[in-house]
Structure 1
Amino acid sequence: MSNQMTRVLDGETVLVTGAGGGLGRGIALAMAEVGARVVIAARRGSTGEETAQLIRAEGGEALAIETDVTSLEGMRQAVTAAVSHFGGLDILVHNATHGASGHPKNLEDFADDDWDNQLAVDLVGAHNCAVAAFDALHATGCGRLILLCSAFGLHGAALNPGYAASKGAIRGLTKALAREWGPFGITVNAVSPAALTPAAEAFFAMNPVLRDQYIANFPLGYMGREREDVGRAITALCNPNLSYVTGQIIQVDGGLYTAV
C-alpha cells in the first residue's frame, strides 16, 4: 500500500459498483491504496470477493457485496451494508456497465429488450445508486458521487446507440444532481475514461489491425491503465482539496477527446 503521506482518503468509505473485475477493480484498488475502506458491489459475489482479497493482500480493508445495480432495493441494501460495516459512506462510484456496451450493433438489430437491458445497468443503475446513497452521503456533510461517462455520449458511437444514449444521459444527470445536491455539501462529477480493459483487449484480439490504428489517436501514445491512470484520477477527484469541483465531466483519456 502507499505510504502515509499519500493516504488522502484515510478513514473514508467508498462503494464501487461493477468492481468484480476490469476498470471497477482498478478503481477499487486505487481507492484502497490511498486509505479508503472499499465496498465492492459486484453482480457475482465470487468476483467481488476476488477484488476484496487483492485489497486485503495489500493491507487494505474491503467488503464484497453481491449487488444488482438495476434493483433500487439491491442498491439500498448495499449502502446499508456499507454503513453498517464501516460506519458510514463517503463516496460512491458507479462504474457498472452492461456487457453489451462493448459489442457494436446497429439499432435495427437490437432485440426487443436489448435497449432496456443496456440502459437498466448504465443509466437506471446510476439513478438507483444516487437514490440509495443520498442519505448516507448527506450525513457526511461532504459526500461525493462519481459516475462513469464516455466521450461517446458527446460525439456519438457508431453501431452502439444504447451506450451513447446512456452515457449522454449520465452527463445530464451529473450536472442536474450537482445543482440539486450542492446545498447538501455533496459533489457530483463524472469521469470519461479510455482504458485498456479486458473488454478492449478482447476486441483488439479479434481485430488486431485496429489496435495500432486506434492507439495512434492518443496524444500520450497509449490507452490508459485501469488502476494507475483511471483509478488514481478518480481518487484524485475525491481528494478533499478538490471539494469545490462539482458538475464536471473529466476526460481521463490521454488526450484522445479534446473537444468541448
Structure 2
Amino acid sequence: MKFKGKTFLVTGGAGGIGKGIVTALAKEGARVVFFDINEEKGKATEEEISKISECMFIKVNLMEKDDVVAGFQKVIDKYTTIHGLVNCAQASRNLPFMETTEKEFELAFGTGFWPTFHLMKLSYPHLKETQGSIVNFASGAGLKGMLTQTSYAAAKEAIRGISRVAANEWGPDNININIVCPIAASEGVAEWRQHNAEAYDQMVSAIPLRRLGDPEQDIGRVVSFLLSEDAKFMTGQTVMVDGGSVMLR
C-alpha cells in the first residue's frame, strides 16, 4: 500500500495499458482518477476499480484543450492536488509515409502529444508542492522507425523530447519525469491479431522474451515503480518495457 493517501491521474485509463496502470496503482492503495473518451468503458472500469481503491472516471476528449483543462480542474476540485501524472492515451492511423497526411498528424498529436504537454503544465505547480512524478508514454515505433508509423512515431518522439527538457528544468523542484515504451497485449492488439495472425506470430517471435507484456503485471507495475519513492533518483530516462525488443545503448 505504498500509495496510500496519494492521488494519481492517468489518461486513457478505460482499457488496455491505461486500465492496467489504473489497476496496478489502485492495488497499491492510490486514489486514481482517469480520463477517457469512452463513457461506457470508463464507467465500467470505474466501478470495477472502486472495489479495490477510490477511483474516479472523467469523460474527456483529449483532442479538445478546453476539455482537458476542465477535466483537470475537476480532479483538483475534488482532491486539491495530485502526486503523479501518467500520460498513456494515444490514437493514430498507420499509413505508408507517402500516404500520410496532416490529418494523421492531427490525430496522433491531438490525442498524444498536445494533451501530454498541457497536462504537464497544469500539473507542474501541484507536483512541485507534492514533489511528485510524471510517466509519459513513447514507443519503439519511434526509436526503430517502424514502417507505416509516420505520424505515431513523430508524436511519440516529440513526447520523449519534451519529457527530457522538463526533466532538466524541473529537476531542481524534485519532480522526476520518465518515459515508458511498452509492448503489451491490449484489446487493440488482440483485435489486430484476429485479422493478421501471421504478422502477429512474427512480431512475437522477434521479441527475446517471446511474449507480449501484460497491461497490469508487466506495464502497470513498472509505472507504479517509476511513480514511487524507489525511483526518485531516476529522471529523463526511456524505459523499454517490451520484452527486449529494443535494447538501448
Length-normalised TM-score, structure 2 = 0.95
What residue number does 2:132 align with?
143
What residue number does 1:21 align with?
15
Distance 1:213 1:157 in 2: 14
1:111 Cα deviation after fit: 4.4
Q: Report the secondary structure of 1:38's partner residue.
A: strand
Q: Aligned runs of 1:224-239 on 2, under 5 Å? A: 224-239=213-228
Q: Which amino acid aligns with 1:35?
A: G
1:75 aligns with 2:71: no
What residue number does 1:167 align with?
156
Q: 2:92, 2:151 within 8 Å by CA — same for their partners in 1?
A: no
Q: Report the secondary structure of 1:157's partner residue.
A: coil
What residue number does 1:134 align with?
124
For this pair of structures, how many residues does the alignment match? 249
1:155 Cα deviation after fit: 1.4
Q: Which amino acid aligns with 1:10?
A: K
Q: Aligned runs of 1:150-189 on 2, under 5 Å? A: 150-189=139-178
Structure-2 change in CA distance of 1:139 and 1:71 (3 Å): farther
Q: Which amino acid aligns with 1:89?
A: I
What residue number does 1:30 align with?
24
User: 40, 47, 51: which one pairs with 2:45?
Assistant: 51
User: 201, 204, 209: which one pairs with 2:198?
Assistant: 209
What residue number does 1:249 align with?
238
Unaligned runs of 5+ in 1: 1-6
Distance 1:45 1:139 in 2: 32
Distance 1:77 1:192 in 2: 28
1:191 aligns with 2:185: no
What residue number does 1:3 align with?
none
What residue number does 2:113 align with?
123
Q: Report the secondary structure of 2:50's partner residue.
A: helix
Q: 1:83, 1:136 within 8 Å by CA — same for their partners in 2?
A: no
Unaligned runs of 5+ in 2: none
Q: Aligned runs of 1:93-112 on 2, under 5 Å? A: 93-100=86-93, 104-112=94-102
Q: 2:92, 2:152 within 8 Å by CA — same for their partners in 1?
A: no
Superposition RMSD in Å:
1.4
Q: 1:69, 1:129 within 8 Å by CA — same for their partners in 2?
A: no
What residue number does 1:218 align with?
207
User: 41, 51, 57: which one pairs with 2:35?
Assistant: 41
